[in-house]
Structure 1
């Protein structure tokens, strides 16, 4: 590098001397300017130039496709869900089948068949017994509140054995202030007199009970009627009506 610099300085000095010599030439004319001498070109030693390494640019075909790592499934038991492939845009779209609900049937509704009237039964309905018929006729009459006389009370109050009775209906007051009491009895065959005697004994008990005057009137107007095996003993303000109903069903 020093040699090249010295050579450049010498060349510049020589050029300056030539210019001075031209200015002092005789004739006073202006001497033509010498054509400029080209400056020496500084040569560069290839050995001193830095080495430049050119990297090959990969072409798109040479670049490796990035490796895609699939994501693990959210639930290990479910496996990987594969998304459906997108439709091919080059293929024409397929028509979607539309399912329409069936129209209601236009057939006229069948008219209901008339219900068949059952044929009347040849077996007549059982008729109520005489005891029940008498009670049905007088049960709607106005009376104080009464209670039923069952087989136990019939035995305790009247001394009548249940074996001597086929059917009976009896009522008595729920409170001692009232005296209304009656029995409608179908006695067993041959037991009507026994039942009648038991009713007479009960009457004597009620008479000796020191009844209120109004109740005493009812006791004095009692009814004791025997029609065959049927016996009616009645202490009631409707005693006459009960006697008529009893006779109409038992005679």
Structure 2
């Protein structure tokens, strides 16, 4: 009588422990999107009025972001054409997850560079640059300097769905 009761209790505890440690695997799922970085940036800048902007090429990414574009599978970075605004939107997709930290550090350095550039130049743009936002979804990193940065982060996050 004691052996079957012990076995039943043991089985119950093991199953309870295993189910408590599992959330159905949902937290391990990588967010996915069907949009390219160019499409994401296009949708973000379309929603909020921007000054005239230009797309950065690989050399400009190296110079302005201190980042080797070879680490990126794809990217889109829009910066102001004229140096009187700080509005900037970048979506960077890394090739390898191990490079996410490198990309995030590059984005932080870019934010510091923009702030330093406008620190004693245009106070309103300096404040805008200080309030930059970043976000990460899977292998994508968003960097935004904009008056509507919070809303743009929300829109960026909405591009992804858990699969």
- C-alpha separation between the residues in 2 aligned to 1:199 and 1:218? 16
Match of 1:152 in 2: 59
Per-residue CA shift, 1:162-219, capped at 9, x if unaligned?
Answer: 2100111101111111111121111111211110001111111112122412102211
Q: Is the 8 A contact 2:74 2:93 kept in 1?
A: yes
Unaligned residue ranges in structure 2 (runs of 5+): 1-32
**4+ residue runs over 4 A deviation:** none
Aligned positions of 1:1-251 closer than 5 A: 128-140=34-46, 141-189=48-96, 190-209=98-117, 210=119, 211-250=121-160
Q: Is the 8 A contact 2:44 2:152 kept in 1?
A: yes
Q: Which has the larger helix fraction?
A: 2
- C-alpha separation between the residues in 2 aligned to 1:240 and 1:182? 12
SS in 2 for 1:139: helix
SS in 2 for 1:207: helix
When the two structures are aligned, how many residues end up with a matched partner?
Answer: 125
Per-residue CA shift, 1:91-147, capped at 9, x if unaligned?
Answer: xxxxxxxxxxxxxxxxxxxxxxxxxxxxxxxxxxxx852524422422322111111
- C-alpha separation between the residues in 1 aligned to 2:154 and 2:45? 14
Cα distance, 1:222 vs. partner? 0.4
* Higher radius of gyration, 1 or 2: 1
SS in 1 for 2:159: helix
Cα distance, 1:223 vs. partner? 0.4
TM-score by length of 1: 0.46
TM-score by length of 2: 0.69
Could you say which structure has the greater relative contact order, defined with CA pairs below 8 angstroms and 6 or more residues apart?
Answer: 2
- C-alpha separation between the residues in 2 aligned to 1:139 and 1:166? 21
Instruction: Indicate how the Cα distance of structure 1 residues 147 and 222 shifts in structure 2: closer, same or farther if over 3 A, else same.
Output: same
Unaligned residue ranges in structure 1 (runs of 5+): 1-126
Q: Is the 8 A contact 2:44 2:156 kept in 1?
A: no
Instruction: Indicate how the Cα distance of structure 1 residues 206 and 136 shifts in structure 2: closer, same or farther if over 3 A, else same.
Output: closer
Q: Which has the larger strand fraction?
A: 2
